[in-house]
A and B are shown apart, each in its own frame.
Chain A
Amino acid sequence: MDQILSMVLELAAELWVVRERVFILEAVLKKQGVAAAEAVETYVPTEDEKAVLAKMRAEATANIFRTLNREHKTVT
């Protein structure tokens, strides 16, 4: 349990690193005249894009839990 907790905390830190980078990226773009944050905020995905996103989400979710789906050994 303790080891998993350490791993989860490291993952949280890594995720924060990515989020902060996105934030800074949007700020840098704005300084260069590209209103990226606003564009993302108000973006309406097309139906095709929604389908792609839904598929990506479903695959990522299944991936997280893939070790639970190993073949179950029948007890003899």
Chain B
Amino acid sequence: MPMELLHDLKVPHDQDTRARQDFVSTLRGYILNDMAAGMKSRYREAVEPILTRDLGRAPATQDEVHAAMKHDLFFKFYSAVRYNAQEMVWRSVIPGIEAALPDMRAKAEALGARAGGSLTLNPELELPENVTAVDVHLMPGVYAAPDTPAAGAVYDNGLAVFSAGFMGRELNDIGMSMANYVRKRFPDFAPADILDCGCTVGHNTLAWARTYPQATVHGIDVSSSVLRYAHARAGSLGIPAHFHQMDATSLAFPDTSFDVVFSSMFLHELSVKDIKRFFAEAYRVLRPGGLLVNMELPPNQALEPYDQFYLDWDCYYNAEPFYRAFRDQDYAGLTQAGGFAPEDFLQFTVPQYTYMDDADFTDAVQRPASIDGETGRLSATLQWFGFGAWKR
């Protein structure tokens, strides 16, 4: 039985579809753990020695590793199976969603009204090219659909299959881990207004609301479709949050409106130029003493060439064309480009809040960042990577 969503927008899937979703989740787990480990040992034992011999030195860049691995049968299988699994994720949820959509559209508005949150759409907002030009992460192109919660449903149901149970029952472990890191690490910090940028279905937005129940929480996204879904989902879960259709590179909020600006798995969807624009906007809307914090994959400069190559797979094979350019950046430099001071940069790794007991999590939070080839990867020893800066 695949993981059932915990709110009233959940879509009924028939037995054959549930079995198919289970198969895809198991396949994803196999790819990311067993095949990944097999491929790494294949590299070490069979590919790296030949590459080293041909180069006359150890490989120094991920491009050298990639060029060698591209011809290797194991990589070809890994890549083809992973690509297929990605398509299978979406295909396992879309038919059920299409059948449930009329009912979902009818319910969405009423659900949204339940919890005291809000939804503010902007039909004038021009969708940026990074969302319209490509089926990002191979998700069929409904981010652009204006009048339906369909994109949110595809993302929510798809993520449940994709994450294979690694992200918690509300698919919010990233948000819970990041927000609780901040709460534990900086116990005197009491944010009153929190902004989640690129919030999609609000799964991590609500995690901040749960962690800081006194705060007012906002989420923005360029897609009205995901926001319609997010608003209804939050209402169904009984958590007030305010969703706005906005572009993070040009926020329609006044200066000094927020104490936290957050993003999760968002920066890699933007060009480096747009990341800098977003960080400048974050700086502008943060109050002094506020925090910019982003969850992402760790920077390439912290990793061996093989691990850089491994984590940039999505850039080349999963329709995430901006990933590599982002991960090649000096992350501290990115925050400085936004106006943050170098000494206010922070980066950290944090284990999964959802699956740890409180005492262990509190201990883990005090340790310095520990980045290696496993960081950010869905596995049994998962650690999320975060970085950002304080506005002083």
Chain A residues with a Cβ under 8 A of chain B? 40-41, 43-45, 50, 53-54, 57-58, 61-62, 65, 68-69, 72-75
Contact = CB atoms under 8 A, between A and B. Distances in A.
A41 B35 contact: no
Interface string B229-264: 000000000000000000000000000000000000
A46 B214 CA distance: 39
A61 B275 CA distance: 39
Contacts of A75: 45-46, 49-50
Contacts of B22: 53-54, 57
Contacts of A74: 45-46, 49
Q: Which of B34, B41, B77 has the most CB of A within 10 A?
A: B34
Contact of A73 (B15, B35, B45): B45
A43 B29 CA distance: 25
A50 B45 contact: no
Contacts of A72: 41-42, 45-46
Contacts of A68: 35, 38, 74, 77
A61 B15 CA distance: 20
Contact of A69 (B23, B27, B38): B38
B30 interface: yes
B26 interface: yes
A61 B26 contact: yes
A74 B27 CA distance: 28
Q: Top 7 nearest A-B pairs by Cβ distance?
A: A72-B45, A75-B49, A57-B26, A61-B30, A41-B15, A72-B46, A74-B45
A20 to B, nearest CB: 13
B1 interface: yes
Contact of A41 (B1, B14, B38): B14
Interface of B: 1, 14-15, 22-23, 26-27, 29-30, 34-35, 38, 41-42, 45-46, 49-50, 74, 77, 81
Contacts of B74: 68
Contacts of B77: 65, 68
Contacts of A41: 14-15
Contacts of B1: 44-45, 50, 53
Nearest to B23: A57
Nearest to A43: B15
Contacts of A62: 30, 34
A59 to B, nearest CB: 10
Contacts of B81: 65
23 contacts: A40-B15, A41-B14, A44-B1, A50-B1, A53-B1, A53-B22, A57-B23, A58-B29, A61-B30, A62-B30, A65-B34, A65-B35, A68-B74, A68-B77, A69-B34, A69-B38, A72-B46, A73-B45, A73-B46, A74-B45, A75-B45, A75-B46, A75-B50
Contacts of A61: 26-27, 30
A62 B50 CA distance: 28
B30 A58 contact: yes
Nearest to A53: B22
Nearest to A69: B38
Given A61-B27, A68-B35, A68-B38, 20 more contacts: A41-B14, A41-B15, A43-B15, A44-B1, A45-B1, A50-B1, A54-B22, A57-B22, A57-B23, A57-B26, A58-B29, A62-B30, A65-B30, A68-B74, A68-B77, A73-B46, A74-B46, A74-B49, A75-B46, A75-B49
Contacts of B23: 57
Contacts of B50: 75
Nearest to A49: B1
B291 to A, nearest CB: 39
Nearest to B74: A68
A18 B208 CA distance: 49
